[in-house]
């Protein structure tokens, strides 16, 4: 029997009302939302009642997604659905770190609040954006980025899909070159050039925040955790992995392939959408990839 992985999504899938049904249906979820409200008052209300534009603000997106995803994970675990390994996409890696036992949930939530503030602060310094490039290979996208100053390949999502970050003023010309090469550049619902050199100051400031946090030793967490930056299981300095991830590419396709090679055959996406599920299916169609709501409906405890 293969291993089960919990994978936590990042920014982009958020929507008004996310998590409300979890809160109303499962006591395990409501306890998580209440914990988040105690640290950051109004988080639940923002998830359930906030506008799409409000939830798009990074300082709001990250705490709200953490709350919703940690609540969903709590429900799955209470029902006896037992992950062998975990990973998270960008912001989701912080949620995965907390759920895996690297640090506790209140600490993880406080960190995510600070992370969102720091990344938004950097994003507001210059007009930047992100786009998903589809229908082109990684080397093609990298070559195109080389031709456009301050446009960077940042998220290696799955075959034929790489996200780029850069100056908004240069995205139009970059998109035109992508089209000429046979691909498409699709704007992402985020405000900032995440996982690029534009985020170096945010990464440095977050590293300082992490120095104040008590962590379990790498490898001693309850559940094995994989790193976005290395696509390998955590080893060495966990604080460095979590901070430098902010200004380095997310190697998601490579990470998924490594997890499969390590025996994972079932991926449960924990988040408000199905972006990671789609990426995993495109990476390897032989494994099972489902959202947490689909898996809950199956009612198959370990």
Instruction: For residues 97 and 56, state if they share a domain.
Output: yes
Domain end among 140, 166, 187:
187
Supply 175's token pair.
Answer: 């998109």
Q: What parts of the chain have a pLDDT lower than 50?
A: 218-221, 301-302
Instruction: For residues 94 and 152, state if they share a domain.
Output: no
- pTM for the complete prediction? 0.94
Give the model's pLDDT for residue 283: 97
Instruction: For residues 7 and 87, state if they share a domain.
Output: yes
Residue with tokens 């209440």, as numbered in its chain: 34
Domain boundaries, position 200: 3-124+196-298
Instruction: For residues 163 and 252, state if they share a domain.
Output: no
Residue 71: name the closest of 22, 116, 139, 6 by CA. Answer: 22
Supply 149's token pair.
Answer: 């100053």
Instruction: For residues 143 and 236, state if they share a domain.
Output: no
Instruction: For residues 251 and 271, state if they share a domain.
Output: yes
Report yes or no: 207 and 240 within 8 Å, Cβ to Cβ: yes
What CATH number corresponds to the domain at position 113? Answer: 3.40.366.10
Instruction: For residues 7 and 98, state if they share a domain.
Output: yes
How many domains would you assign to the chain? 2
CA distances from 29 to 26, 37, 69, 82, 146 (A): 5, 13, 9, 17, 45
Instruction: For residues 174 and 38, state if they share a domain.
Output: no
What CATH number corresponds to the domain at position 166? Answer: 3.30.70.250
Give the model's pLDDT for residue 18: 97
**CB neighbours of 206 closer than 8 A, spacing ≥ 6?**
111, 114, 115, 118, 242, 243, 246
Report yes or no: 176 and 121 within 8 Å, Cβ to Cβ: no
Instruction: For residues 104 and 216, state if they share a domain.
Output: yes
Pairing state of beta strands 85-88 and 3-8?
A: parallel
Instruction: For residues 64 and 178, state if they share a domain.
Output: no
Q: Which residues are catalytic?
A: 90, 195
Neighbours of 286 (CB within 10 A): 7
Give the model's pLDDT for residue 300: 52
Instruction: For residues 177 and 154, state if they share a domain.
Output: yes
Residue 214 exposed, middle or buried by CB count within 10 Å (0-12, 13-18, 19+) = exposed
Instruction: For residues 229 and 255, state if they share a domain.
Output: yes
């Amino acid at each position: 029997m293969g291993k089960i992985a919990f994978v936590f999504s990042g920014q982009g899938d958020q929507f008004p009302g996310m998590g409300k049904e979890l809160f109303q249906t499962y006591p395990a979820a409501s306890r998580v939302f209440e914990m988040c409200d105690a640290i950051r008052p109004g988080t639940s209300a923002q998830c359930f009642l906030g506008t799409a534009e409000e939830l798009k603000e990074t300082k709001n997106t990250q705490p709200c997604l953490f709350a919703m995803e940690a609540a969903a994970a709590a429900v799955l675990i209470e029902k006896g659905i037992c992950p062998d390994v975990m990973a998270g996409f960008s912001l989701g890696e912080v949620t995965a770190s907390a759920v895996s036992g690297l640090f506790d949930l209140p600490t993880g939530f406080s960190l995510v609040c600070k992370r969102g503030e720091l990344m938004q602060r950097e994003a507001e310094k210059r007009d930047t954006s992100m786009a998903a490039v589809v229908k082109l290979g990684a080397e093609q996208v990298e070559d195109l980025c080389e031709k456009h100053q301050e446009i960077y390949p940042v998220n290696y999502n799955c075959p034929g899909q790489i996200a780029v970050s850069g100056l908004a003023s240069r995205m139009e010309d970059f998109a035109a070159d992508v089209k000429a090469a046979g691909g498409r550049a699709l704007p992402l619902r985020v405000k900032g050039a995440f996982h690029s050199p534009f985020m170096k100051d945010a990464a440095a400031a977050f590293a300082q925040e992490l120095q104040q946090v008590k962590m379990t030793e790498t490898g001693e967490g309850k559940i094995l955790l994989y790193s976005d930056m290395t696509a390998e299981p955590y080893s060495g300095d966990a604080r460095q992995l979590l901070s430098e991830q902010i200004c380095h590419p997310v190697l998601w396709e490579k990470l998924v392939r490594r997890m499969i090679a390590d025996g994972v055959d079932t991926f449960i996406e924990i988040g408000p959408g199905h972006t990671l599920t789609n990426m995993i299916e495109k990476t390897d169609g032989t494994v099972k990839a489902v959202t947490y709501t689909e898996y809950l409906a199956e009612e198959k405890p370990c």
